[in-house]
Amino acid sequence: MRGAGTTVAADAAEGAQTPDAADADGTAAATPAELRGCFGMFATGITVLTAGGESPCGMTANSFTSVSLDPALVLVCVQHDAVMHKAILSEEKFAISVLAAHQEAVARRFADRTRPRGRREFEGVRWRPGALTGAPLVADTLAWIECGLAAVHDGGDHSIFVGSVLDTGRAEAGDALLFFRGKYHRLEPQSHDRDGAATRGGAGDSA
Ligand SMILES: Cc1cc2nc3c(=O)[nH]c(=O)nc-3n(C[C@H](O)[C@H](O)[C@H](O)COP(=O)(O)O)c2cc1C
Q: What separation in Å is there between the alpha carbon of 198 and the centre of ligand 1?
A: 35
What's the rounded Cα separation, in Å, for the pair 142 and 107?
14
Atom 23, ligand 1: residue with shortest CA distance:
82
Sign of CA dihedral 85, 86, 89, 90: negative
What's the rounded Cα separation, in Å, for the pair 59 and 113?
9
Percentage of the residues of the chain whose pLDDT score is greater than 90: 74
Q: What separation in Å is there between the alpha carbon of 197 and the centre of ligand 1?
A: 38
* Length of the chain (residues): 207
The topology (CATH level 3) of 43-188+197-206 is Pnp Oxidase; Chain A (2.30.110)
Pocket of ligand 1 from Cβ distances under 6 Å: 46, 59-63, 77-79, 82-84, 111, 113, 158, 179
Q: What separation in Å is there between the alpha carbon of 176 and the centre of ligand 1?
A: 18
Which stretches of 80-181 are assigned E, i.e. beta strand?
A: 93-98, 127-129, 136-138, 143-155, 158-170, 177-180
Q: What separation in Å is there between the alpha carbon of 192 and the centre of ligand 1?
A: 36
Atom 16, ligand 1: residue with shortest CA distance:
111
pLDDT of residue 2: 33
pLDDT of residue 205: 62
Q: How do residues 36-87 score in pLDDT, each as one tens digit?
A: 999 999 999 999 999 999 989 999 999 999 999 999 999 999 999 999 999 9
Can you tell me which atom of ligand 1 is nearest the CA of 81?
A: 27
Examine the pLDDT at 33 and tell me if it is beyond 60.
yes
Q: Which of 142, 32, 37 is nearest to 97 (CA)?
A: 142
Q: Decide if 97 contacts 133 (C-beta within 8 A).
A: no
Percentage of the residues of the chain whose pLDDT score is greater than 70: 80
CA distances (Å), 205 to each of 45, 89, 109, in order? 14, 35, 17
